[in-house]
Amino acid sequence: MHKILLIIQREYTTRVQKKSFIILTLLMPVLMAAMMFLPGYLISMDDEQVRTVAVYDASSVFLGRMENSQFTKYKFIPKEEYQIVKQDIKNSSYYALLVIEPNFLTTKTVQVISGSNIPWDLKSQIQDKIQGVIEKDKMAEVVRQTAIPDLEQKIAATKTHINIDTIKVGLGGEAKKSSTEIGMVLGYIFGFMIYLFIFVYGTMVMQGVMEEKQSRIVEVIISSVRPFQLMMGKIVGIAFVGLTQFALWVILGVAIFSASKSFYPGTSHVQQIQNVMAQNQDTAQQVAAPQMDKIQEIFSMVDTINFPLLISCFIFFFIGGYLLYSSMFAAVGSAIDAQEDAQQFMLPITLPIILSIMVMMSAIKSPEGPIAFWFSIIPFTSPIVMMARIPFGVPAWQLILSMVLLVATFIGMVWITGKIYRTGILMYGKKPSWKEIGKWLTYKS
């Protein structure tokens, strides 16, 4: 027992001290934070290029009604100029040419000709403007025909935005406001994290085994400890590396979350986003208030998620899934001499992991469907799929069944892979076949 602790300690310290580990651990939350903040920041940033769009309006509906916005100017041009510009848009002084045919109301299509791909922003701006003009005309027509007073205002008042509050009733009957979206996001994040951890740390185990085999230190070590101790010591040591990384991420994540919580509502940043929206949309005023509430609501709903359960399940399924897969990775590492040979044996390991991720995608959409259920019970896919279901709430019996099956499978798997490992690490010079690996299982230790 003392020796396996020594091995765990060595596997752990040599990896945690590595520069790459420290850099990745610190950089990851920064990257994740960047992914959270960047879109908001980008929205607040305007496209500040001034563009002039030439408008050839054969229908004469729009003349004088295309208002310039801050960075986009509209210039109506006569037919003669249109024909010149049309020939050679690139060398003209216009960024784009908007062509409105007389029959555009029946085709419901206008053309924008440009020397480059026009920005999506500009396209939607033009679209909004044209639609706005036509709607206004149609509205005026209806108002004129029906002669109902204040019709325009009355129609505008029918526009309604509905919020759905999803209430989750707990075991004790207490009702909490929950969020399907947040459940999906968390399910995705946690499922994906298990996937990542199994892959990253499983591969690390494989490489550690190969390093020992290639450097030939393995024979020295297994004259001091049992091969099984060496294998488990390595697997457990690396698991601690993963848990350390996860713990650091949780700490950093909580720090970033609480920092942004105190920073988000009411700051100039949010205001800025809303101001931008106000500029672009007439309805902005109606949207802005709920938008504001929404951000605060997200924070309050994140608070209602059972994080202790989520994190302890994550740790359990991470360890369980990791042990199951890393022992297989260890067996592969022991069986081969060179990285190039790994492919053939990796496939049966990576296949269920990739399948898990695919199932997870559907599981976060329907966490109680039969696919989500079965794959969250079957041990090889359960760590990832179950993790994706947990934020939505999973019946205790399913959780326990899944956990028990996972533990039983990894014990069985470690027993099998231990046998492969013990023979594999001493085999040099040939790439074994599946058949041969099968024979190793029968060797006496």
Residue 398 CB, shortest distance to another protein, in Å, is 43
Residue 23 CB, shortest distance to another protein, in Å, is 17
Alpha carbons 181 and 170: distance in angstroms, whole number: 18
Report the interface residues with another protein, using CB under 8 A: 3, 6-7, 10, 14, 211-212, 214-217, 219-227, 426, 428, 436, 439, 443-445
Q: In sequence order, what DSSP letters do the residues of 248-301 get, joined into one string?
A: HHHHHHHHHHHHHHHHSTTSHHHHHHHHHHHHH-TTHHHHHHHHHHHHHHHHHH
Chain CA centroid to CA 147, Å:
53
Alpha carbons 44 and 276: distance in angstroms, whole number: 7
User: Would you say 3 or 75 has its CB closer to another protein?
Assistant: 3
Please measure the distance between the N-terminal and C-terminal CA atoms of the chain and give it in whole angstroms. 19
Residue 56, number of CB atoms within 10 A of its CB: 20
User: Would you say 7 or 270 has its CB closer to another protein?
Assistant: 7
Residue 27 CB, shortest distance to another protein, in Å, is 22
DSSP helix/strand/coil, 54: strand
Alpha carbons 236 and 397: distance in angstroms, whole number: 28
User: Would you say 221 or 278 has its CB closer to another protein?
Assistant: 221
Tokens of 158: 């029918």
Alpha carbons 424 and 163: distance in angstroms, whole number: 60
The Cα angle at residue 26 between residues 25 and 28, in degrees rounded to 5: 70
Chain CA centroid to CA 181, Å:
13
User: Would you say 268 or 445 has its CB closer to another protein?
Assistant: 445
Alpha carbons 240 and 21: distance in angstroms, whole number: 13
Question: Pairing state of beta strands 111-114 and 175-178?
Answer: unpaired
User: Would you say 232 or 384 has its CB closer to another protein?
Assistant: 232
Residue 25 CB, shortest distance to another protein, in Å, is 19
User: Would you say 146 or 223 has its CB closer to another protein?
Assistant: 223
Residue 372 CB, shortest distance to another protein, in Å, is 43
Residue 10 CB, shortest distance to another protein, in Å, is 6
Residue 191 CB, shortest distance to another protein, in Å, is 34
Residue 333 CB, shortest distance to another protein, in Å, is 15
User: Would you say 185 or 221 has its CB closer to another protein?
Assistant: 221
Q: In sequence order, what DSSP letters do the residues of 176-244 get, joined into one string?
A: EEE-HHHHHHHHHHHHHHHHHHHHHHHHHHHHHHHHHHHTT-HHHHTTTS-HHHHHHHHHHHHHHHHHH
User: Would you say 11 or 57 has its CB closer to another protein?
Assistant: 11
Residue 326, number of CB atoms within 10 A of its CB: 33
Residue 281 CB, shortest distance to another protein, in Å, is 59
User: Would you say 224 or 366 has its CB closer to another protein?
Assistant: 224
